Amino acid sequence: MRYAPPLCRTLTLALLLVLLPGSAWAEFYKYLDRSGRVVLSDRPPAAGERLLWRSRNDPRYADYSRIDLSSMERNRRRYAPLIDRVARDNGLPPELLHALVRAESAYDPRALSKKGARGLMQLMPATARRYGVADSWDPEQNLRGGARYLSDLLQMFDRDLELAVAAYNAGENAVKRFGNRIPPYDETRDYVRKVVAFYQQATPRVVSAYPTAR
C-alpha cells in the first residue's frame, strides 16, 4: 500500500478546500483505490474502491483541520507494540494481525466506513457488542475485539486462512452459505487477496502454517 507524503496530502486537502466551489461545506472521502493507495478526495469511491472515512458520517471531522493526515508508517510504528502484544495474547502471528489492520484501516484508529465499521480493525457495532468492546474508538479495545473474532474464525474454519479472512470481511454465515468457500463477492475476494499478500510479504517462509482455501 502506498501513501502520499504527509506534506503532499496536506497540500492536496488545502487545495480542495480552497479551489472547490463551496469547498468549506464540501463532503470529502478517504478511501483505498484499486492499487491500494489511500486517496483523499471530494469524489466518492468508485466500484472496487474501499471507503475508509466519509466526512458526513463523522461529526468529529466537521472541522477539516482535525482530519488525521499522519502517514500509515507513522501510525504503524505507533501501534505496532500494541498490535504485537494483542496478537500474541490471542495466539495469532503478529504479522497476520498487522495485515488485517493494514487492509481494514491503514492503521488509522479513527477510520469509519459507510457501513459504520470503526477503528483499526473496522469493527461493526454488532461485532463489538459480541466481543464486549465498549468503545470501538479505543485502539486496544478495538484490536482485542477484532483479534478475538479473527481467532474464533480461524478455529471455526479449521485454521484456513483465506476462509477466516473472507469471513472477517463478509461474515461467517456468508462463507458457510457458499459451502465453506470464499463468497463470490468482488470486495471479499479482493480483500482476501490483499490480506494474504500483506501477510506473505511479512512472513514469506511461515505463511504456509495456515492452509489456504481451494
7: nearest Cα among 68, 55, 69: 69
Report how far apart, in Å, the C-alpha atoms of 192 and of each of 15, 35, 46, 122, 195 are.
35, 14, 19, 15, 5
DSSP state of 23: G
Catalytic residue, from 27, 49, 95, 104: name it: 104
d(CA 95, CA 23): 40
Host H or E run for residue 165: helix 161-170
Cell numbers representing residue 34 in the block: 484499486
* Cβ-based neighbour number of residue 111 at 10 Å: 23
Residue 104 bears catalytic tag? yes
Give the cell for residue 186. Answer: 468482488
CA distance 206 to 7: 37
68: its cell numbers: 488525521
Q: Which residues are catalytic?
A: 104
